[in-house]
Amino acid sequence: MEDAMSRILVIDDDAEMRDMLKQTLSSAGYEVVLAKNGNQGLQLQQVQPADLVITDLLMPEKEGLETILEFRQDFPRVPVIAISGRASTGFFLHMAGRLGAVKTLEKPFQPKELLAAIEAILKTEAALVAQAGSRPRSSSSPENISAS
C-alpha cells in the first residue's frame, strides 16, 4: 500500500460491521476512526479529518444518503464509499452514486474488494492533488472547487 497513514472514517450503526471494518483497515495499515451514525461522522470529520469515508446507507439519526449530501457540501474533496446490505439495496446504492459516492459496495463484500477500491481511490486522489498542487482534501474551504 502506498499511503500507510491515510485516515479512514467508518460510519455504520452496526457495531460488528464497524469492528470488522476497523480490523480489516487497520491490518492494511490505515488509521481508522469510527462513528455510529452520520451526525457523529460529520462531527468527527471536523476534529479528525479523514482522507476517505465509508458510510452505511440505512442508519438511525442520519441515514447514509443524507450523510453523503452533507459530506459533499461540507467536505467536497473527501471521497465517500457507500455500503449497504438490506432490502432494496440496489436503489439506495444507485442513489448514493448519484449523490456523490465515488464507489458503492453491496454487503456482504470481500475485504480484498474494499481494500482494492480504497487503494485505487486514494491513489487517484493523491495524483489529482499532486497534479493541481493543492492543499490536502480534508480542508472544507471552497477554494479550487468547481461546480459539477
Digit-coded pLDDT (tens) for 53-66: 999 999 888 889 99
Which is more confidently placed, 46 or 140? 46
| 48-51 contact pairs (CB < 8 A, 24+) | 48/7, 48/9, 49/7, 49/75, 49/78, 49/136, 49/138, 49/139, 50/7, 50/8, 50/9, 50/78, 50/138, 51/3, 51/6, 51/7, 51/8, 51/78, 51/122, 51/125, 51/137, 51/138
The helix/strand/coil state of 43 is: helix
Average pLDDT for residues 59-82, to the nearest whole number? 94
**pLDDT per residue as tens digits for the range 87-99:** 567 888 999 999 9
Is the pLDDT score of 10 beyond 90?
A: yes
**φ and ψ at 108, to 5 degrees?**
-80, 145
Question: Which residue, among 125, 105, 116, has the nearest Cα to 54 in the 3D structure?
Answer: 105
Query: Residue 2: what pLDDT?
Result: 45
Question: Domain residue spans in the chain?
Answer: 7-132
125 confidence band (pLDDT: 50, 70, 90): confident
Tell me whether residue 133 is exposed, middle or buried, using C-beta atoms within 10 angstroms of its C-beta: 0 to 12, 13 to 18, 19 or more.
exposed
The mean pLDDT of the chain is 86
* Beta strands at 80-84 and 103-106: parallel, antiparallel or unpaired: parallel
99, three cell numbers: 449523490
More confident residue, 38 or 127: 38
**Average pLDDT value for residue range 13-31:** 97
> CATH for 7-132, among 1.10.3720.10, 3.40.50.2300, 3.30.1370.30, 3.40.30.10?
3.40.50.2300
Q: Which three cell numbers, joined as nine digits, stand for 14?
A: 452496526
- Mean of pLDDT values over 19-25: 98
Q: Residue for cell digits 500500500?
A: 1
pLDDT digits (tens, 9 = 90+) for 29-52: 999 999 999 999 999 999 999 999
